[in-house]
Structure 1
């Protein structure tokens, strides 16, 4: 009867009917629950059907029934890895090695289990042991170790293992392409180009090798050569959207817009749901001033990827060129919803709001214009022209004057900073205004005026360590060393006090 169960199950397996084979083994276990081979074989079939969770129950039983079987433990350990029970899989695979210490496959799988568990050093150790035990000719294993070492920052040793893999599999174009891709990710572009050429020499009919060569050539600025590589890739495989796209992008960099547009059109035919293809197509049309066509293409890109800041901005720009100001504003507003601090988008929105079609003096647009200015300042606190524009709209906003004064100081425009702080002081004197005025006078090397300004600042805020420190600097430069020392000591006392309060 035992032979009958094996015979029936194997027959169903050979026919590809795993479900029936599983049913046979279930029946066998029901009739003969103590036959460990039934448990093991059922586990193997369950793994093949993707039922690894269920399989580990049978594997566990088979190991308990036959604890001396290394292969039972090995299969059990592999199933545990598949269900991500890494800690347990490590223990089971270690037991397999203890039972049969000379099987390299056991070491390899244990190394992979350690890697999955995040125990990198142990993973490398066992993968190396797999090589020592008999996998010394496995290029795949050398690649695996090389990748782990590189991820751990052990670059020299990682590349040693990769190059060993190349030696073992020197006739494979695929491994050269993989190595080239690895070199590219590490910005070793020159060597990557050499490696891709070797891959092409081994297999001149692989379009992917030509494509990857093109990307490497483009990365180091050899755009004409990259175009040739992409074109060769297309000759070998005309149905690859990514190659048409990259060729179009490289032609765009060369300002060969018409040719680029043809490539983008083909890429869009092959990958109609790629937002970035439509974006670059729109960019090429925009570069030629073909605004109407660009609008349609950008709209398609936005439809596919509504959260692209760049495309929303470009759509707004071409709409503005067509005089469709309201629609342009709507596009820019959507862009700012994605990133309200985009300086570029805020400037583009300002241009539309300030255009002849939408008068700056219009009460309708003043709030939007003001908000644009404020957002630009938030992005770039030293943008002097924007401060001036904002102050034209809000001449009584003293906070803006104070920020403007600091921006002027940052750019060493001392006299304008002095004038700005004096305006604030005339309207509403404060410690901040006098301190800024002192900084500006000190920047201009007029130290007596700086001293007076800092002293006035202390009348408004006598607990500010920075004012005392800056006053000390001015006094020291003015030759009043004793007075400067007093200020420095007071600055240190206040700074220590403030630190204690914070702690």
Structure 2
């Protein structure tokens, strides 16, 4: 989950403005004026410094194309650059932001922006100007006041290097000027010199420990350095001195959530902030996030509704409402919320929420102790989010394409909300691509069901062992012949013929527990689980010490989702034969499905200790390791399988997913290609193949993969969801709505079926 700091006030009189964005009233069909171009371009630069990626930047221009073409933007930017470069001002903040834009805009605008930005950054900062009046007077209070005022002026103008020089002069003249030490810290923080900034704030605190701005600013910078516990301690001290500050309560909530995952205390802080300022839409938004983390979905929706009352164009709130509605099974409401989010994408009206790792609010102290706030310049702001993140994780992340960023935050209850989302239904998780901005695509790496992996091959081997161990008895030889024929047919994949042979054998010898086992294996592979279970139980009635029947029963219970009962069956098998590697593998699968991955890995290791050439155990261990985030170890497992069976499609699929989780999506594509070549009928592989392509923003190809998935499994709702959101990415909103409609129909049908 991405946490976002508040946007600062923009004027120096102490008033607080809302989040910077493009107002709805600014949307019309008139060509952009010169003033409009500059206004929107500065908003674009602001968005880039907040983490906008290529897709969001492209959408920015698409949203304004009815007022200005791309070529017109290029022409305007050329003139803008000439004007800026002709000005004598030293403006590294603008230069840095324009260079950042070139990293996410590869066209003519990006190239031109880089050229302008680099030229701005090559300029040298001016030497601090001598105060005109004090230059000829002895050092005294008047000179200190002049330097102090000059420092505040430059700090508010974003000229942080000059401001720092001015405040250095103040503390040189008056080492006990705690206000100057605070503002010196502000300038250092804006320049990215975090540790020096903290030291400057601490010098101010040592001089005047009862002055709240010093504690507040120290907390802000510590938060941006991910030192959450220290930030909390600093803000708590500020609140002892100034308990009615809603901003600090809000920031405290963010630190409790992000740093400690303490959702109850975070919720209490957000609620305190809202008691003091009920008009703060961001506090309402994050209150909803905290409630969602506590699985209080209805309350979370109410909180996001309050945020939307204050800020109707808050895209993220609509996205999160959709997720909460899905959690509650209210699919129609979920689709409606998502469609509302889509509507906002047609124009850049949704105000961006500032990034969590960006120093957003620092208090500039005047000589009269009045505090104002200034924006931290772009060069001290956090870098662009990378995805995948958490496609999100994330999340990625998000990861997050999913939320794979370290910045992407997950809780056990709330896999990801806000910019990195996870939407879950009763069958699967859908992981959202985190773009780091106000647009996301829901995608998922399917947790490949280990319960079905290689069970068929295990049944083949089990039947062969049973056949080789079969003792000559007084049984009818015709029954034995039919049993052996059934095993051979099973091995050839002719399941219906094998079933007929086992049934024929049982007509002759109804107490032949081996034939009951064979019948159970066939029925299991045919998906007729209740009948398979009955066959295994009949075998165990005849011979309770049959390890093969206990293992087969465990496999069927596993396929039915009855994991605890499956574990019990595997344990019964292992009590009879502790070296039964198939049972260790099956038990690991059941534990994995229960989320008990460490125990599952121990079982897979036991299976591999018994049989080091057991591909299914390597694959399943790789899946469990991936679920624990141990992707490098998972990759080793899949590679080990491929050493044994180079053409194992499950191993290629698993390896592909591990590479995606490691952010190596380009390498993953080669593995996915091999997986679908070996097994073109696996809808899960096509689905995840699409995710890897989405990671690389190759949306048309991703859609083609999801189309392949849907050819195999037309009712796979997650593929429709992802198709719809991929269409959003490329601006094909009509097709996005059609895909959403299909997903909604499938969700409604699923709900109707489950209620009958």
Sort the TM-score into its range (normalised by shorter chain): 0.3 to 0.5
Comparing both structures, which one devotes a greater share of its residues to helix? 1
Higher relative contact order (CA 8 A, sep 6+): 2
